Structure 1
Amino acid sequence: MAGIPKSTTAGTTLALSLALTAYPAPDWSATLILRGAQSIDLASQPDGKLHTFTTAADVTASWKPGDYWYSLRVTDGTEVYEVETGTLTVDPDLAAVSEFDGRTHAERTLQAIEAVIEGRASKDQDSYRINNRELRRTSISQLLKLRDVYRQEVRRLRASRRGKDTLGRQVLARFNSNV
């Protein structure tokens, strides 16, 4: 693992120093290739044996938010190797937007399901027909099941954000070093 972050924010400076022991700078140069909402290629600068990527805030300000797939590649001018691949999320620059909904898909969906349940509380019919068109609503029992699924997902997400265990119950173990 070379140390590419999982996310960065547009409009902020991106600074990475990577120690690629099998491919030390300056004998090898590194390129970080990002593909997603747009194409971004970053070339490293040698810093001793480290590969340093520095991208100014005014440059990252133009990066479109979203998920990017990356390829970290090294070359010595003849050979080219892919050292690491993965995804990096570019988060929007909150200073550059007037409105922003930072909720996850699960949080938005849970709110929508709860709004439907609340709105359906006063409606008797699950379906109706006008002329040759028919409308069927999702049953309350199905909505309640969906709500429970999304509540669980939102709970796990929020626990994860707070650094809590997301797997459920706590398992305690004792190790005896007097063997």
Structure 2
Amino acid sequence: MAIDTSNTEPISIIPGDTVKWKRTLADYPASAGWALSYELLNAQHRYQIAASADGNAHHVVISPQTTQNYAPGAYDWRARITNADEVYTIATGRLTISPSFGAASDVRSHARRTLDAIEAVLEGRATSATAEYEINGRRLKYIPLNELHAMRSKYQREVAAEEGKSGPRGVSGRIVVRFGA
């Protein structure tokens, strides 16, 4: 089965996938010498993508070998059109590069990682009543249990919202109704 080429820029990229789209720009046809390019940018990375001419249209293809090397995160992008000495930014947007399943990285959300860490601390606290200690002049103070429980509730709500659930116990927000004869 062939995948249709989109006529708009992607909103997300999965590393290791081929990414294609085509832009037809009436005021800047490729057949008249206009060249379309894209730049993806975030605080740590910058990627440049060039379109190729396809009649009057501009065709973008990013190979799986290229996308495999893209770092995950949110990126701002801009599309620029050039011809000789003329350069115009014609569009801007935002996209996300997903974490690669082949990478050894933690793909959990911030809320899920934080909730898991809080729960691990609470489980460890069950065996320790120490609130503060000092070793070789370095002092460590624990977060009080009531604050940990409050933080836990907050992050349970965030995780539930991310997962499409309404509460910390995994109760769905859906109401199921059955009509019988």
TM-score tier, shorter chain, comes to 0.7 to 0.9
1:43 aligns with 2:56: no
Match runs of 1:1-179 below 5 Å: 3-27=8-32, 28-36=34-42, 37-94=44-101, 96-97=102-103, 99-130=104-135, 132-159=137-164
2:99–2:107 CA contact under 8 A, matched in 1: no
Structure 1 residue 138, shift from structure 2 partner: 0.6
CA distance in 2, matches of 1:125, 1:64: 42
CA distance in 2, matches of 1:20, 1:142: 56
CA distance in 2, matches of 1:21, 1:117: 61
Unaligned runs of 5+ in 2: 1-6, 166-172, 175-181
Unaligned runs of 5+ in 1: 161-167, 170-179
Structure 1 residue 17, shift from structure 2 partner: 1.5
Number of aligned residue pairs: 160
Structure 1 residue 60, shift from structure 2 partner: 2.4
Structure 1 residue 130, shift from structure 2 partner: 4.9
Residues 133/101 of structure 1: CA separation in 2 closer, same or farther (3 Å cut):
closer
What fraction of aligned residue pairs are identical, expressed as a percent? 35
CA RMSD of aligned residues (A): 2.9
Deviations 1:97-154 (A, max 9, x none): 4x44321111111100111112112322322345644321111111112112211211
AA of the residue aligned to 1:152: R
Provide TM-score, normalisation by structure 2: 0.72
Provide TM-score, normalisation by structure 1: 0.72
AA of the residue aligned to 2:158: E
AA of the residue aligned to 1:69: D
Deviations 1:29-73 (A, max 9, x none): 211012344432111123344321012222323333333332211
